[in-house]
Amino acid sequence: MNQTSPWDLLIRRAHLATLAAKSGLGELVDGAIALREGRIAWLGADRDLPAGANVGAELDAERRWVLPGFIDCHTHLVYGGNRSLEHEMRLEGASYAEIAQAGGGIRSTVAATRIAGEEELLAASAPRLRALMSEGVTTVEIKSGYGLDLETERRMLRTARRLGAENPVRVVTTYLGAHAVPPEYAGRPDDYLDFVCGTVLPALRAEGLADAVDAFCETIGFTPQQVGRVLAAARALGLPVKLHAEQLSDQGGAALAASAGALSADHLEHLGEAGARAMAAAGTVAVLLPGAFYCLRETLRPPVELLRSCGVPMAVATDHNPGTSPLSSILLAMHLACTLFGLEISEALAATTREAARALGLAAEVGTLAVGKRADLVLWEIERPAELCYHLGLVPTHHRIFDGALSDVPRP
């Protein structure tokens, strides 16, 4: 025991679910966890606490459960306007593709985002972020992709960075230029991708605004060949990549992502066996997004059995976006992953902690309770961890600790 460097906080009488083992929850009943300088310094059974431990503050968890902070690894949280009108249209029978072809969909959000200033975007996005934080989220990925020009993409990513700087939450940014073809490039998708790869990507990279690069591989998005260009340009700049793949059809996007060494391929309702095998071989995480599946009333579920049998790690995220998943609840995302996709409780909890960290390339830093990792953790007012995938609308967050510091549970 290093007596010159005390623990900043010791949490005692806690039930821990470390999520650190390959399977199961890593449950440790009557445990304790010590934090120092924003990291986990010690954890184990309460009775095994080292004698003479030098403790700053102590918190009695009163037998509450402690889990790693949740990680929402796929969101489009920053945008202008909203698309409740399309919700109405969809209720009247219009499909996602029909709405897109009618000039709605992504393009209507692009128009609203282009005219929104940074302060406006920040004010619109903060309540969405606070809703996630109130449910124990400590890391959020935020994509651009509603500007499609350099100035607006930069403003979206700057807004995402500010959300991270101004709130006790870790924000990871992703440039999603290849989300849609903007109106000024209508009918010229390859010219637009020249601009994305040759101008926007290098600029955002130089400004340190993008931690990763994503693209939308779909009949109403970009072809595998076009997406391949974007991923290659990102890799050439040293940026990790990910891909929206196999959401509405099987384009071979998952295999393409895997061949580019992607961190994740996301959606995957139409994933086939070749794609799953390629993902397993490359260590590419399958990010399942039940919010979009639910809102679009899809019926073909992602092949969870295939992913399991191939050994592809599974993450779950909200996919918060104004069109197809206006979902600001990680607890509901987990509930839907269980009820709609058939995930088991231990899979769903790993999917928003350990595997979500892997999907962001942050597995060494966050996602489990383990010595040396960032001290992002949440105390829950529950009797069993399964309750986190069970309640609908009840949010049993008790205490939230970000980077070793206790923070209030925000109210949206």
Contact residues for Zn ion (CB under 5 A)?
Answer: 319
Assigned token pair, 148: 């499609």
Rounded to an integer, what is the distance from CA 7 to the centroid of its chain? 30
Q: How far is the CB of 293 from Zn ion (least distance, A)?
A: 12
Choose among 255, 88, 243: nearest CA to 176.
Answer: 243
- Which residues, including other chains, have CB under 8 Å from residue 128's CB and lie 6 or more apart? 77, 320, 328
Residue among 267 and 399 whose Cβ is closer to Zn ion: 267
Can you state the percent helix, strand and coil of the chain, rounding each to 5?
A: 35, 25, 40
Closest CB 331 distance from Zn ion, rounded Å: 19
The nearest distance, CB 284 to Zn ion, in angstroms, is 16
Q: Which residues pair with 15 in a beta bridge?
A: 65
First-last CA distance in the chain = 41
Give yes or no for a contact between 249 and 300, defined as CB atoms under 8 angstroms apart. Answer: no
- SS3 (DSSP) at 215: strand
Residue closer to Zn ion, measured from CB, 72 or 319: 319
Q: What residues pair up with 215 in beta bridges, in sequence order?
A: 178
How distant, in Å, are the alpha carbons of 245, 362, 399 from that of 240? 16, 12, 33
| Least distance in angstroms from the C-beta of 289 to Zn ion | 7
In the bound complex, which residue of the shown chain has the CB atom lying closest to Zn ion? 319
Please say which residue, 128 or 374, places its beta carbon nearer to Zn ion: 128
Q: By C-beta, is 153 or 319 nearer to Zn ion?
A: 319
- Residue 197 is given by DSSP the state I
Secondary structure of residue 182 in the 3-state scheme = coil
User: What are φ and ψ of residue 393, in 5° steps?
Assistant: 100, -15
Q: Min. distance of Cβ 143 from Zn ion in angstroms?
A: 7
Nearer to Zn ion, 7 or 222 (CB): 222
User: Rounded to an integer, what distance in angstroms lies between the CA atom of residue 353 and that of residue 359?
Assistant: 10
Closer residue to Zn ion in complex, CB, 18/325 = 325
> In angstroms, what is the minimal distance from the CB of 121 to Zn ion?
18
Task: Quickly tell me which residue has 């999520």 as its tokens.
Answer: 19
SS3 of residue 161 by DSSP: helix
Using the minimum distance from each CB to Zn ion, give the nearer residue, 41 or 160: 160
Residue 210 structure tokens = 């993008």
CB of 73 to Zn ion, least distance (A): 11
Please say which residue, 168 or 253, places its beta carbon nearer to Zn ion.
253
Q: How far is the CB of 264 from Zn ion (least distance, A)?
A: 11
